[in-house]
Every structure is written in structure tokens, then in C-alpha cells.
A and B are shown apart, each in its own frame.
Chain A
């Protein structure tokens, strides 16, 4: 069995390089891989494209990464959370690009990307700015917008339990984007709260099968938000 366990955050992040597209799991405070994002900031990379629901708030983990200058583009659904001052400054001074995507479309683009599909047809965005310039396709008398699949070089995700095969479970609403991101990246790195022995996670309750996980690290809590 391939050893996926890494002993430190820097070791877990070894595969991340300049110019990569990186998914960040999480929604609000749930399921955000804070230790991995802090480690990414310390790695001092450049030219990253990050994909996340939000674009950071105040001086939190994502905001600090943006401030470090490592990110050239943000793909997200909701850039202006309360006090997202750092994104705001970078965007208005032309130092960062933004691709705004409806939340359901963002999640489904990842599911398509992780499923070997080129894209999907959605009614979301019809007649709005979001659909401008995208192919419109009629199926059985209804019009849909073609949205392309979205994949990343790296997914950084946050899980609750992990076993040595990389099987993951999530806690409560911390699941959010993490499972579809894990499926749609070339290399998925999980930060888990606890490691359990092989066989301890009931196969019927695995949320993300270990086949989607390339490396994992146990977050011992030295990185709090």
C-alpha cells in the first residue's frame, strides 16, 4: 500500500508549484484546510490561481495568502464577505483577476471535472451576464447554458477522520466543497483532524474514497485561525 501520510505540512505540500491552480475546500469556517493554506503562504509561491467559495475576509488565512502576492487570479462565488479588505484592495489596484461563478455552477463544474466530463448544461445564469459568450443548447425544448468542467493541479481539503488508504469522513457542514474538489484535482492533499486504523471507517460511511487522496497530514492544531 502506497504511503500517503506526510509528517509535516511542508512535506504534504511538496507537489505544489508556481503557477498551479489550487482548490481550497471550505465554506465559512467549516471545512477550511487552514493549516495547509498557511503552509502554502509560507512556501512563497507565485502566479497561483485559487478556487474557493470566498476571497478571504479581514486578515484571515486566505486574505493573508492574497496579501503575500502569491495569487494572480481568484475563482469564487462571493468575493465580498464582511471586511474582505485585502481582496478589495488587490482587485481595485489591478493586481488580481477575478472569475465570478454561481455557487452551484462552481460545484457542478468540479463534479464534471472529476467525472471525466467536458462540462454540463445548466439553466442557471440564462439571460444574465454570466451566460454571455457561452454556448446555449436546446434539449427537449428547454434552453441551457454550456458550462465547462473545472479541474485543478492541486486540491487542499479538510477532513475529520482519515485512514491509511486516505479514506475520508467529514464533520457536519464541513463537507461542503471538499468531496467534489478531491475528485477534480491531479493531486489532492487532505488535512485531517484524526487518523484511524485501516478498517475502522465503515465502508458505507466513507465520504471521499482514498482513491481520490494522494497525500494526507494530521493537523495537530498548531495552526489555529
Chain B
């Protein structure tokens, strides 16, 4: 196969990935957000979606960041950023917060990823060569959520695909990721592996395949990611 350069000028911005992902959140879902890129999703969720955001530190019904004069050290999100409560929010302790996650009450978790495998295995807690890593709540949340949306760049800083046939990094949870949202594409994890459903405007299925270390099936109705 001839080499295809990464189409850097046509890659989606982080905000564009967040906007596309937000459109997939169903009304009244309870959604957990991982730290980093996933938190951008809140900017693009519409009021009529009425999403209930869960934060692992015991917040059910997390609202947007407060203005500077309303910041409270007792009210921060999983990434330690200031947050607020929506009307009708509830607060629980840590064990109950993770009971919610493992107990099947999380409709969706949006998590960053180092690697996703074609069978839905997720790696996001330790890079090879890092002696310790950081787990936080990721293992429990990825294990418990009904849907896990991985949100990430398509390739890493070395240009290597983050979508692989099998994980080569330590696993966070097995067969958990259901959809992958990258700066190149929207890809579902199916029983037959990856299904390419949408590409960033101006990026071809061939380009996405070249930068993916697993075979992609291409949806019959392949379309552009809505801007």
C-alpha cells in the first residue's frame, strides 16, 4: 500500500469532535465524563437533551463551570475543575457513586484513550514504560457503563494509530468501547470489528484506513461528519 500522509489540515478540532459526539447522547441519559477532552462535550449538549452528568466524586447532576465569584472548593469535577449542580442534583459518597457506575445506571461514559482494539478493549491508564500509571475511576466506569464512547485523536504523537486489531498497551477494561470519535472519523465497534460510518469532511475512507491498524468495514451509507 502506498504511503498516505496524515491529512493534518483536514483533521477535526477537539471542539468539533465534542460537537459530533454530543449529538449521539440520547435524551435523559446519565453520562460520565472522563478528564481532559471528554469534558468539552458539555459545551455542545443541548438543553432539550436533558443529560444528567455524573462525576465520580459523588455528583449526580453536574452543571457547567461557575463564574469566578461563585467557585467553591467543595464542588469540583473528576478533573478537579470547578463545577456546579443542576436543579435536582443529588450528592452521594464515593462507594455509592461507584455503585451507580457498576450497577448499570450509567447510560454512557465518554473516555479518552491511548488505544482501542477492534473488539472494544480499552487502554487508557498506563503507557508501556510507565512504571505506575493512573487508574482513577476509569476501570470501574468503563466496566459498568452501558455504552463507552472513546474520544481521541486518531493517531498518537508518534503518528501511530490508536485504533488497533489488539491492544499492545495494558488494558483498562475488555470489550467495553461501543463507538470511537476521532479527529478523522466516527467508527462503531461491532461483532465483526470496526465499522467506519462517518469521515471528517474532505477525508476519504482510504485515508482513514491507512491510519488505522485494523481492518475497517465501510458502512453502505458512509457520510461526512456534520460540521
Given A91-B132, A124-B102, A130-B139, are A175 and B93 also a contact pair (CB < 8 Å)?
Answer: yes
Contact bitstring B89-107, A, C-beta under 8 A = 1, else 0: 0011111011101100000
Number of interface residues of B (CB under 8 A): 41
Give B residues with C-beta under 8 Å from A: 55-59, 72-76, 80, 85, 91-95, 97-99, 101-102, 126, 131-141, 143-144, 170-174
Say yes or no: A128 contacts B140, CB within 8 Å.
no
With a CB–CB cut-off of 8 A, which chain B residues contact A111? 95
Within 8 A of B (CB), among A55-104: 77-81, 91-92, 98, 100-104
With a CB–CB cut-off of 8 A, which chain A residues contact B132? 79-80, 91, 98, 100
With a CB–CB cut-off of 8 A, which chain B residues contact A91? 131-132
Within 8 A of B (CB), among A25-68: 27-31
Say yes or no: B170 contacts A173, CB within 8 Å.
no
Residue of B with least CB distance to A125? B139
Interface: A162 (CB within 8 A):
no
With a CB–CB cut-off of 8 A, which chain B residues contact A30? 57, 73-76
CA distance A78 to B80 in the complex (A): 12
A-B contact pairs, 18 of them (CB 8 A): A28-B76, A77-B137, A79-B132, A81-B80, A98-B132, A103-B98, A103-B136, A103-B137, A104-B56, A104-B95, A124-B144, A125-B139, A127-B174, A172-B85, A173-B55, A173-B74, A173-B76, A207-B93
Given A29-B73, A180-B93, are A123 and B135 also a contact pair (CB < 8 Å)?
Answer: no
Say yes or no: A172 contacts B72, CB within 8 Å.
yes
Say yes or no: A173 contacts B75, CB within 8 Å.
yes
CA distance A103 to B132 in the complex (A): 15
With a CB–CB cut-off of 8 A, which chain B residues contact A128? 139, 170-174
With a CB–CB cut-off of 8 A, which chain A residues contact B144? 104, 123-124
Given A77-B137, A100-B132, A123-B102, are A172 and B91 also a contact pair (CB < 8 Å)?
Answer: yes
Say yes or no: A103 contacts B102, CB within 8 Å.
no
With a CB–CB cut-off of 8 A, which chain A residues contact B138? 102
With a CB–CB cut-off of 8 A, which chain A residues contact B76? 27-30, 173
CA distance A92 to B130 in the complex (A): 11
Residue of A with least CB distance to B137? A103
Interface: A110 (CB within 8 A):
yes
With a CB–CB cut-off of 8 A, which chain B residues contact A102? 135-140
Given A108-B98, A123-B143, are A175 and B136 also a contact pair (CB < 8 Å)?
Answer: no
With a CB–CB cut-off of 8 A, which chain A residues contact B134? 77-80
B137 to chain A, nearest CB (A): 4
Say yes or no: B58 contacts A103, CB within 8 Å.
no
Residue of A with least CB distance to B138? A102
CA distance A123 to B140 in the complex (A): 8
Say yes or no: A107 contacts B171, CB within 8 Å.
no
Say yes or no: A176 contacts B170, CB within 8 Å.
no
Within 8 A of B (CB), among A129-184: 129-130, 171-180
CA distance A125 to B144 in the complex (A): 11
Say yes or no: B58 contacts A175, CB within 8 Å.
yes
Interface: A126 (CB within 8 A):
yes
CA distance A173 to B74 in the complex (A): 5
B156 to chain A, nearest CB (A): 18
With a CB–CB cut-off of 8 A, which chain A residues contact B98? 103-104, 107-108
Interface: A122 (CB within 8 A):
yes
B122 to chain A, nearest CB (A): 10
Residue of A with least CB distance to B133? A100
Residue of A with least CB distance to B93? A179
B89 to chain A, nearest CB (A): 10
With a CB–CB cut-off of 8 A, which chain B residues contact A28? 57, 76, 80
B111 to chain A, nearest CB (A): 14
